[in-house]
Amino acid sequence: MKHNILLVGAGNLGRRYLEGMEKVKTPLIINVVDPSNISLDKAKDVGMKSKKNIHLFNYFNSIEEVQSAKIDLCIVSTTASSRSNIIKSIISRIDTKKWLLEKLIEQSSSKVTEIKDMIKDPSSAWVNTPRRIMDWHIKIKDRLKINNSNLKYLKVDIEGGNWGMACNSIHMIDLFYWWTGLKIESINVNNIEYWCNAKRNGFMEAYGSIKVNYLNGVNMNISCHDRNEPLIIKISTRFGVWSIYESIGKAIGPNGEIIEGKLTYQSELTAQVVENILVKGQCNLPNLYESSIIHIDLLNAMLRSWKAHQINNDTYIPIT
């Protein structure tokens, strides 16, 4: 019996999901939805290149065209701006067991809450902030040895150029939460210097810095400059400073210890994630409930900055 998959969004990231699902050993019926025929044609090329004949691929321009009344896993890889409406449309037409949502979940805290309320069981949905399932970052976490007894020594500084602070800070905040389990007390966005057009048309990016404050004086500083510099994650711990250079795949410890690895591509992660959800009903990505908490904190803070710089009363931020 084949598992029914619904993939909504066949852009660059959606196609990486498709490439990954081709490696899934469990037979799948993969229903791909995208309003763009150009994106669907590129998705069809991925399906046609599949080396396995155990999967069946279907392609549609709208959710209304999908024939399946029940879906075992729905992957929503659209931009954040349309995600709430898409999920509402899916739920109204299709019985969906499990969900995998791309970050950012949505563009405002109210829309994130709306999605959480629509998906009745938030533990049946996961959000793709994937460093916590990457082998390299798992090794780094084990070596950091962060626990309740040494949290007071912890300080994190993240700095780089043109890395997309507004849309990608959620990855760093989720990474910190995975290390510590600490909840956010406040996010200071007073040092965001300006907003400008992002590389993706119709979206915005922020430059400057934000400070995420946690209990007991623990904090994380996140900075992005308008110049090409590699992203560096520096973690000050009781045992010294670790520096993570993701662009070259090296984490260097206080005694010169080096942990080599890489940021794993989505096409390499998808098969294991999908198999675990379909076969075991579990996933090591953050579930919708825990991810929505940090999304809401971040989006509320970013919206304050956005409104201050634009001098308007927007209720959402055009980031994805």
* For range 259-264, the mean pLDDT: 98
Domain count, the chain: 2
Range of the domain at 239: 135-263
Do 114 and 144 lie in one domain? The reply is no
| CA atoms of 272 and 280, how far apart (whole Å) | 11
CATH number at residue 279: 3.40.50.720
CATH number at residue 236: 3.30.360.10
Please give the residue that has the higher pLDDT: either 312 or 63.
63
**53 pLDDT above the threshold of 80:** no
Query: What confidence tens digit (pLDDT) does each residue in 207-251 have?
Result: 999 999 998 789 999 999 999 999 999 999 998 999 999 999 999
- Which pLDDT score is estimated for 167? 96
Q: Is residue 55 part of a domain?
A: yes
Edge-to-edge, what's the strand order for the sheet holding 70-76?
56-60, 28-33, 3-8, 70-76, 95-102, 125-128
Q: Is residue 85 part of a domain?
A: yes
Q: Is residue 11 part of a domain?
A: yes
Do 117 and 194 lie in one domain? The reply is no
Q: Is residue 210 part of a domain?
A: yes
Q: Is residue 49 part of a domain?
A: yes
Contact 20, 269 (CB under 8 A): yes
Query: What confidence tens digit (pLDDT) does each residue in 242-255 have?
Result: 999 999 999 999 99
Query: What confidence tens digit (pLDDT) does each residue in 168-192 have?
Result: 999 999 999 999 999 999 999 999 9
DSSP secondary structure letters along 15-35: HHHHHHHTT-SS-EEEEEE-S
The candidate with the shortest Cα–Cα distance to 265, out of 257, 273, 275, is 273
Number of CB atoms found within 10 A of residue 179's CB? 20
Do 117 and 160 lie in one domain? The reply is no
Q: Is the pTM of this model over 0.75?
A: yes
Do 157 and 208 lie in one domain? The reply is yes
Do 162 and 110 lie in one domain? The reply is no
Do 57 and 124 lie in one domain? The reply is yes
Give CA separation, 114 vs 49, 61, 93, 118, 132, in Å: 38, 25, 18, 6, 26
Contact 187, 298 (CB under 8 A): yes
Do 112 and 211 lie in one domain? The reply is no
